Amino acid sequence: MLYRVIGLIVLAALAFVIVIQTQKGEAAWSLVKEARSEARRVVWPKRQETVQTTLIVLVLVIIFALILWLLDSGLSWLVSAVIG
């Protein structure tokens, strides 16, 4: 089992080296490196900012849900009044 795992790791490394030497492989590796550098530059929000933003989103979702429920109820009442 150990030899199989080592063999798979060696084959994967060999395949990686071969892929990197192709034009598309080089482009893909360049993209991966650029993505890593961009991820390092991201300014992640602090816990307090995340909690505040989440609460704002939840409150707005509840408000819009109530507005839509009122519109739906009002239109339903209007249609049932017209139809009879």
Span 28-78, pLDDT tens digits = 889 999 999 999 999 989 999 999 999 999 999 999 999 999 999 999 999
> Does residue 45 come out as left (phi exceeding 0), alpha (psi in the -120 to 50 range) or beta?
beta
Residue 11 has pLDDT above 90, yes or no: yes
Q: Contact at 8 Å (CB) between 20 and 26?
A: yes
Q: How confident is the model at residue 84 (pLDDT cuts 50, 70, 90)?
A: confident
Contacts of 19 (CB under 8 A, 6+ apart): 25, 28
Mean pLDDT of 11-28: 89
What confidence score (pLDDT) does residue 66 get?
98
Q: What's the CA gap between 66 and 61, in Å, rounded?
A: 9
What confidence score (pLDDT) does residue 19 get?
86
